[in-house]
Amino acid sequence: MNELAIFGGIPIRKEPFPVWPRVTREMKDSLIDTFENQSWGVGSETIDIFNTEFAKMQDAKFALSIHSGTSAIWICLKAAGIEAGDEVILPSYTFIATATSVVLANAVPVFADIDLETGNIDPASVKSLITNKTKAIIPVHTGGAPADLVNLQKISKKHNIPIIEDAAQAHGSMLNGKKVGAIGLGGIFSFQTSKNMSSGEGGAIVSNDESFIDACFSYHNCGRVRNGQWYEHHRLGSNLRMSALNAAILLPQIKSTSSDVLLRERSRKILDEGIGNIDGLVPLKLIKDTKSSNHIYIIRYKKEKFHNIKREVFFKAMQAEGVYTYKGWSPLYKEPLFSINPKEYPWLENIDYNGLFHDNTETFAQEQAVWLRQNHLIGTDNDLKDIINAFEKVTTVMRKSPDKFKNIIT
């Protein structure tokens, strides 16, 4: 086997992986048609069509286009009745927006630990955190893999606490034959640049509850209500509407996403088989009867199988081979944001986020999680072969010649 590229050898991969998001003729045509023939915002037929079609795509009765997934979470929380000082349980391993949306709703983020095998919120941890102040639970479908909504719904029903799904990465993901998003009271999706459906920026809310989606409409549209007067405002909402131009870019992707999901599923299975045969690298486990959108490919790196060589050293060796691996998220309670200024966030004044330590989240985020960028899942069989070969090449040398890695600075 060749010398590792990090030590001067020839890298496995010299060519870039497929570009994402891709630009199609259908997207261009849809955008130009809306640009030339439609309102670019309020009143656009393109937005109405997108809402209808996206709801169908996600097995929901209703969908509402929003200008970002972050804003969509805030809207859902307010529509669910969250008030100042209420507690909202969410995983400590997720993107920062899941938590900041709670703070922006004047509520208290309560962090739950994750399941080490899935990377998703642990229902047992959620159960232990329920108080009389708990008013919502936000499971996150990490990487597109559905969280354990079956057990979370049992908790939800027992305590009458609504579930708001953070499905930002889960377009087309399924649990027990049903698309995620509207399994709980409502759910959000993101269309930010990297997502499996992309319009640069954007988001959506889906639900089967008409009164909930009507409240979402009000919060995203300056407090207006459906069929009300234009200058009639019932809630402290904001202008969080999606542009019709974003909707035009997204509309053709509703059709292409189904085939993309199949491609990503096939790619994940090939990677699982190839990488999963390497002792010390463990693909994430999917819970029973689920299908993931496979937005991000995540595995676990067990350093004890590689002479305790740090994961960050492994990253550098992989990146030198032309396959970009990285750590992903950090534990949210470690973010500088949660060194709380009590003057700005008085309802969080007595909460010591810096004192939190979740065993699984710490192990997963700080030691084990290995992410592959989502565009690695949309290539050819040769692309996947290069990825597997890079993992095999690097781990073989790490196992056989660990002393070589002593002087790599991370």
For 59-110, the pLDDT digits (tens) are 999 999 999 999 999 999 999 999 999 999 999 999 999 999 999 999 999 9
347-358 mean pLDDT = 92
For the chain, the average pLDDT equals: 96
Is-same-fold flag (25-255; 257-405)? no
pLDDT at 88: 98
**Three-state DSSP string of the chain:** CCCCHHHCCCCCCCCCCCCCCCCCHHHHHHHHHHHHHCCCCCCCHHHHHHHHHHHHHCCCCEEEEECCHHHHHHHHHHHCCCCCCCEEEEECCCCHHHHHHHHHCCCEEEEECECCCCCCECHHHHHHHCCCCEEEECCECHHHCCCCHHHHHHHHHHHCCCEEEECCCCCCCEECCEECCCCCCEEEEECCCCCCCCCCCCEEEEECCHHHHHHHHHHHECCCCCCCCCCCCCCCCCECECCHHHHHHHCCHHHHHHHHHHHHHHHHHHHHHHHCCCCCEEECCCCCCEECCCCCEEEEECHHHHCCCCHHHHHHHHHHCCCCEECCCCCHHHCHHHCCCCCCCHHHCCCCHHHCCCHHHHHHHHHHEEEECHHHHCCCHHHHHHHHHHHHHHHHHHHHCHHHHCCCCC
Please name the fold of domain 257-405: Aspartate Aminotransferase, domain 1 (3.90.1150)
CATH code of the region 25-255: 3.40.640.10
pLDDT at 409: 87
For 109-131, the pLDDT digits (tens) are 999 999 999 999 999 999 999 99
- The edge-to-edge listing of strands for the beta sheet with 108-112 is 108-112, 87-91, 134-137
Lowest mean pLDDT among 203-212, 281-290, 315-324, 345-354: 345-354
For 142-165, the pLDDT digits (tens) are 999 999 999 999 999 999 999 999
The answer on pLDDT for 27 being more than 90 is yes
380-409 mean pLDDT = 96
The answer on pLDDT for 138 being more than 60 is yes
**Distance between CA 73 and CA 98 in Å, rounded?**
7
pLDDT at 169: 98
pLDDT band at residue 410 under the 50/70/90 scheme:
confident
pLDDT at 143: 97
- Token look-up 């050898």 returns 9
The answer on pLDDT for 1 being more than 70 is no
Give the up-direction half-sphere exposure of residue 410: CA atoms within 13 A in the CB hemisphere.
14
pLDDT band at residue 132 under the 50/70/90 scheme:
very high
pLDDT at 178: 97
For 291-349, the pLDDT digits (tens) are 999 999 999 999 999 999 999 999 999 999 999 999 999 999 999 888 777 788 899 98
pLDDT at 307: 97
- How many CB atoms are located within 10 Å of the residue 222 CB? 17
> Which tokens in the block code for residue 237?
């909402």
281-293 mean pLDDT = 96
243-267 mean pLDDT = 96
pLDDT band at residue 2 under the 50/70/90 scheme:
confident
**Distance between CA 399 and CA 207 in Å, rounded?**
50
Domain boundaries, the chain: 25-255, 257-405
45-66 mean pLDDT = 98
